[in-house]
């Protein structure tokens, strides 16, 4: 049966089909039918009028997304399907039509929010002094925080960007790792370096670190300091205890912003210690200066299998 969805441009046809028709096969799995593209027509074998109408709306949305210049991925195919289930297709299209770059990579590639939740996160970053960002791996929590911080630094709104993490991973003790202190902690901070290299390049990142405009350090180094005119990002905060978070949060100085990111499903603290991330967010969420956002598996922007893995573990 032909759908009321005309694909008149070759580029849109390629975008909807995917490599070796992987998108069409995935759409068929989502709607429990066979979906094909012949010429400029989309065909399917659905007989139920309600399901057919739902598929037509979905395919038309994909076409509009393609026409807005988005290179569709399997993540997009699944994400837009979930948005339809939630009645959010119109909001998503409006978001795509009005979104603006939030920054650029070192190679001048523009960076955009990719999901509605990411856009809400960016709004909180602009409006709140303290933001808790929690959720699954691959949702862009840390990367977007670093993009925002670097962008604000370049514009002169802040004088410094401080990136920190608890030096706790899978129960390993730093004392048993080889090398001096820097060599011991650098592996824990590597994801923060990677984000900065992507945005600023290695040379400029290292220059800003030497000038102490950028600071990357373990959480323990924050004790006793007052952090002013800075954007301070605490990553992997699920590996901080309640007391450690209290210590960190009370470092906030004037004209500064704190961004706390973490995934409460991946706590690496010893069994006798409790993560303080959710506790701190719950204690502070009602303050007008504080924003709290939680990402779900549908916001994962890595390989589609990651979202499935997260869902399976959450349901066990």
Per domain, the residue ranges of the chain are: 2-98, 103-314
Contacts of 131 (CB under 8 A, 6+ apart): 121, 124, 125, 257, 258, 259, 260, 290, 291, 292, 293
pLDDT in tens, 111-150: 999 999 999 999 999 999 999 999 988 888 999 999 999 9
Contacts of 82 (CB under 8 A, 6+ apart): 298
CATH 3.20.190.10 fits 2-98, yes or no: no
Q: Mean of the pLDDT values across residues 25-37?
A: 92
Fold match, 2-98 / 103-314 = no
pLDDT in tens, 215-252: 988 888 898 888 999 999 999 999 999 999 999 999 99
Sheet with 35-38, side-by-side order of all strands: 2-6, 41-44, 35-38
Note whether 161 and 216 are within 8 A (CB).
Answer: no
Does the pLDDT value for residue 305 go beyond 80? no
Does the pLDDT value for residue 106 go beyond 80? yes
Q: Residue 74's closest CA among 307, 315, 294?
A: 307
The mean predicted confidence, pLDDT, of the chain is 87
Does the pLDDT value for residue 260 go beyond 70? yes
Alpha-helix residue ranges (DSSP H) falling in 201-302: 202-210, 242-249, 277-284
Topology of domain 103-314 in CATH is Rossmann fold (3.40.50)
Does the pLDDT value for residue 314 go beyond 70? no
Q: What's the confidence (pLDDT) of residue 269?
A: 84
Does the pLDDT value for residue 310 go beyond 70? no
Looking at the chain, the whole-number percentage of residues with pLDDT higher than 70 is 88
Q: What's the confidence (pLDDT) of residue 183?
A: 57
pLDDT in tens, 175-195: 444 444 455 556 667 788 888
Q: Name the pTM for this structure.
A: 0.85
Note whether 240 and 248 are within 8 A (CB).
Answer: yes
**E strand map for 49-159:** 103-104, 110-111, 130-135
């Amino acid at each position: 049966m032909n759908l009321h969805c005309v694909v008149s441009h070759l580029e849109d046809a390629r975008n909807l089909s995917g490599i070796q028709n992987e998108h069409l096969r995935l759409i068929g799995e989502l709607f429990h039918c066979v979906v094909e593209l012949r010429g400029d027509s989309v065909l399917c074998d659905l007989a139920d009028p309600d399901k057919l109408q739902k598929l037509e709306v979905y395919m038309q949305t994909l076409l509009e997304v393609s026409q807005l210049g988005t290179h569709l991925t399997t993540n997009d195919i699944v994400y837009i399907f979930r948005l339809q289930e939630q009645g959010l297709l119109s909001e998503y299209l409006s978001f795509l039509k009005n979104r603006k770059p939030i920054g650029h990579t070192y190679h001048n590639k523009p960076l955009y929010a990719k999901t509605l939740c990411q856009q809400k996160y960016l709004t909180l970053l602009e409006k709140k002094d303290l933001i808790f960002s929690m959720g699954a791996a691959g949702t862009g929590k840390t990367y977007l925080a670093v993009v925002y911080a670097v962008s604000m630094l370049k514009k002169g709104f802040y004088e410094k960007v401080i990136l920190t993490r608890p030096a706790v991973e899978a129960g390993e003790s730093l004392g048993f790792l080889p090398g001096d202190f820097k060599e011991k902690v650098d592996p824990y901070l590597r994801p923060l370096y990677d984000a900065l290299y992507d945005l600023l390049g290695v040379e400029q990142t290292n220059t800003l670190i030497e000038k102490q405009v950028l600071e990357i350090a373990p959480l323990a180094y924050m004790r006793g300091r007052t952090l002013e005119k800075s954007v301070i990002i605490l990553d992997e905060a699920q590996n901080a205890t309640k007391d450690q978070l209290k210590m960190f949060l009370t470092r906030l100085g004037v004209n500064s912003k704190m961004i706390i990111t973490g995934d409460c499903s991946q706590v690496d603290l010893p069994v006798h210690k409790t993560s303080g991330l959710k506790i701190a967010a719950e204690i502070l969420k009602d303050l007008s200066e504080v924003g709290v956002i939680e990402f779900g598996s549908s916001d994962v922007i890595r390989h589609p299998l990651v979202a499935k893995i997260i869902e399976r573990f959450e349901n066990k």
